[in-house]
Amino acid sequence: NNLTVDIINNSYGKDYIALSENAYNDLVTAKSENYKVIYQNDAVNREYDDCIKPMFEQVYYKLLDELKRGDKNSFIFRHHIDFINSNVRYYGESKYSDEEPNDIVTDYIASMTDDYFLALYKELFPKSPLKIEFKSYFDDIK
């Protein structure tokens, strides 16, 4: 919140985005800490290499196969392409499903939240030994 306020205060009335030197230094410090705690953390990297990366690869190639086969019952059609096509039809005749298949799959995966991706993975690969344990937004209300 403080960073947002700082950016607004330092950018207002200007044709560029600016922030104070203190906010910039705090941002650099936070980014450096994130890299140390998250991206350069051996346990996190091991979890990524051993579990998350293979999960992404499996989802990617399954969706790509379903897209190339034109499987209209696939989630890539029902949750992504149909939605895009229904919203862009107002802007022209081109169909999103005519785009390069790798781009469509990449767009779909990029649009996913972590929770959605994990739920989709579980749906597509229910017997997979790959699992990510996480605390859901709704765990506390059960």
Q: What HEC string does 51-81 produce?
A: HHHHHHHHHHHHHHHHHHHCCCCCHHHHHHH
Which residue is listed with tokens 């104070």?
20
- Condensed to tens digits (0 to 9), the pLDDT of residues 18-67 reads 999 999 999 999 999 988 887 787 877 788 888 899 999 999 999 999 99
Residue 85, pLDDT score: 84
Backbone CA torsion sign across 65, 70, 74, 78? positive
Residue 36, pLDDT score: 87
Whole-number Å distance between alpha carbons of 87 and 81: 10
Contacts of 30 (CB under 8 A, 6+ apart): none
Its pTM stands at 0.70
Between 66 and 96, name the one with better pLDDT: 66
Band the pLDDT of 123: cuts 50, 70, 90: very high
Residue 111, pLDDT score: 96
How is residue 24 written in tokens? 């910039």
- Condensed to tens digits (0 to 9), the pLDDT of residues 73-91 reads 999 999 999 888 888 766 5
